[in-house]
Amino acid sequence: MAERIVSDVLTKPDVALEMTLRPSLFSEFTGQARVKERLEITVAAARQRNEAIDHVLLSGPPGLGKTTLANIIAKAMGANLKSTNGPTIEKAGDLAGLLTNLEEGDVLFIDEIHRLQKTIEEYLYPAMEDFKLDIIIDQGPNARSVRLNLPRFTLIGATTRSGLLTAPLLTRFGVTERLDYYSAEQLCQIVIRAARLLNIEIEEVGAQEIARRSRGTPRIANNLLRRVRDFAQVRADGRITKTIADQALCILEIDENGLDQMDKRILEAVIVKFGGGPVGLSSLAVAVGEEPDTLEEVYEPYLIMEGYLKRTAQGRMATEISYKKLGLKPSGTQPGLF
């Protein structure tokens, strides 16, 4: 459905496409200049000392390049990368299997690390700090603890919800970096590079049109590029111009500000159904037929950054921009709108 294009792209990424377009070197990575510079220095220093780099935590909204940076770091270190994600590690044995199969200098990448079970997380503490793993063998009176030595490895964690990480886990990351949304100019460079790799003929103004409607997110920009390519192939001569990009994005119901139909449903629900707010996350999720986690991780960050929503202790509230966007007038009872 067109109204869920954003959530589908960010929660169910096209792995084959991402592998094709993913930069493999720091020099190929566009945007996040300060983050990239700090990581390059960290990697260079570790290589000079012939050591594994400190554990790294990458946070930020989905689709901004956390997995890509993990791959770049591993390649820059000349290390093997082993990937998993928090929800798939269901028991201590799963984590023990991952850790004991690592070799000296390897990188273990855990996506959605905030979704690790707390009992599993506790096994990470000695592994990260002392490179030792304590496992329990047998049960009941025969239970005994065995300590295994682990090779020095680097854990790279990625999270969209750094606030959900416990303090003991946070303090064990030597490097913490947050990725922010990209500018339209940076996304334009990413779209042009992706078009070149996919053999898509595109004008710079066409790339700019796609970039400015991509919600500051490279993954969305790359996906929209493919969708616009299909339109250009069927309805035009295959070349993506500004006009073609605009027509294609209108069919996809992506407006000039990058909002899709679900964004507008969220704003309309807050304004019409809940009088402009405040409204709780669960109530809003039921009203628009979306999962609370998807609203909080995928839609809200961009709507808040662009000033359409604000989050208060009482709940979500619409702003003046939201009313103007939907062509609605605020009720006189909503506190603090103007």
Catalytic residues: 66-67, 111, 160, 219
Alpha helices, DSSP H, located in 180-260: 184-197, 204-212, 218-235, 242-251
Long-range CB contacts (within 8 A, 24+) of 321-325: 322/267, 322/270, 322/271, 323/271, 323/276, 325/257, 325/259, 325/264, 325/267
- Which helix or strand (DSSP H or E) is residue 176 part of? strand 175-178
Q: Residue 321 is encoded by which pair of tokens?
A: 């921009």
Cβ-based neighbours of 15, under 8 Å, separated by 6 or more: none
What's the first-to-final CA gap in the chain, in angstroms?
A: 36
Q: What distance in Å separates the CA atoms of residue 70 and residue 81, rounded to the nearest whole number?
A: 8
Cβ atoms within 10 Å of 298's Cβ, excluding its own: 25
> What six digits make up the tokens of 266?
């969220």
Written as one string, the DSSP assignment of 260-291 is -HHHHHHHHIIIIISTT--B-HHHHHHHHT--
Check: CB of residue 179 under 8 Å from CB of residue 32.
yes
Structural tokens at position 183 = 């500018």
What are the CA-CA distances from residue 263 to residues 26, 66, 69, 74, 300 (Å)? 33, 24, 29, 36, 9
**Residue 68 CB neighbour total at 10 angstroms:** 21
CA distance 240 to 229: 7
Q: Give the contacts of 4 (CB within 8 A, at least 6 positions apart).
A: 260, 262
